[in-house]
Structure 1
Amino acid sequence: MKREIEILLKRAEGFVKDALEDLKRDDYDLAMFHVEQACQLIVKAKLLDLTGYFEKTHSLRKLLGDLSSVLKKEEIEKFVNENWNTLRNLEFAYITSRYLPEEFKRDEVEEALRVYKKLWEMLWSS
């Protein structure tokens, strides 16, 4: 199991690097998608670490709800509430990357990267 968690976290790191490169090229839509993928993976890795399982969903807010139920921590609920709009934008980036023409702005990507960093610190920096 430890190996699977390491793989997910390494992939998340790769997606964040991709997002930063996308941002340099002003490719905000792809940057948002990459941040969303990174967020999904670090939450799935934590669920795998704690329970040995994660639901096969692409909803970041659903995954965070699952994690909140497992950890019984108000910190995660508070994080979701405080970052609701950005989390919704990240989920939207996942959907629009495949099905809808939608554009994101630099400030939205920068906020998404801040949310990723906060999420990483909350889940993995202890």
Structure 2
Amino acid sequence: MASVTELGAMISDACQEAEKLPGALISCGVVEAAAALCLIISSPPRGLFLHHGKAPHYLYYGILVAVVIFGLFEASAGFWVSGDVVGRRAVGKTIMWVSIVPLVTVAALGWLVILNVK
């Protein structure tokens, strides 16, 4: 599985070369969805999401479910872009840049789990 730095390099390469865009979209989407699913299954809310009632718990799981859905959308967009890389490059690059926000979100929530912040 690719690390966050490898995904960053892949995103950078995909923005410069159109042929690498579908692979980057698919890889980033699958990694985002898998990481968010892993957090949903294995990790309860931590850090900021504790001691403030039920709303932060729902927010935590809502964010992760949204990232899973967006990751699957991004991966399917990668397959769509691969059909006509030159004609769909602008849409693919836009999705790629928007995907940085969920990628950082999942990475930050994952670090809370790794650091065991309570």
Q: Does 1:111 align with 2:93?
A: no
With structure 2 as the length reference, what TM-score do the two structures score? Answer: 0.55
Distance (Å, rounded) in 2 between the aligned partners of 1:84 and 1:78: 10
Equivalent residue in structure 2 for 1:31, among 7, 10, 24: 24
Q: Structure 1: 5+ residue runs without aligned partners?
A: 1-7, 40-59
Structure 1 residue 22: Cα displacement: 0.8
Equivalent residue in structure 2 for 1:16, among 2, 5, 8: 8
Contact 1:22–1:31 under 8 Å retained in 2: yes
Q: Between Structure 1 and Structure 2, how many residues are aligned?
A: 93
Q: Structure 2: 5+ residue runs without aligned partners?
A: 46-56
Structure 1 residue 120: Cα displacement: 0.8
Deviations along 1:31-79, one digit per CA (max 9) or x if unpaired, are 312323543xxxxxxxxxxxxxxxxxxxx26x63443232122354121
Contact 1:16–1:34 under 8 Å retained in 2: no
Query: Structure 1 residues 28, 91: CA separation in 2 closer, same or farther (over 3 Å shift)?
Result: closer
- Structure with the bigger RCO (C-alpha within 8 Å, sep 6+) is 2
Distance (Å, rounded) in 1 between the aligned partners of 2:44 and 2:108: 18
Contact 1:36–1:90 under 8 Å retained in 2: yes
Q: Share of identical aligned residues, percent? A: 4
Alignment of 1:5-84 (within 5 A): 8=1, 11-12=2-3, 13-26=5-18, 27-39=20-32, 60=33, 64-73=36-45, 74=57, 76-83=60-67
- RMSD over aligned CA atoms reads 3.2
The residue type equivalent to 2:29 in the other structure is E
Distance (Å, rounded) in 1 between the aligned partners of 2:21 and 2:110: 26
The residue type equivalent to 2:108 in the other structure is E
Structure 1 residue 89: Cα displacement: 1.6
State the secondary structure of the residue aligned to 1:92. helix
The residue type equivalent to 2:24 in the other structure is A
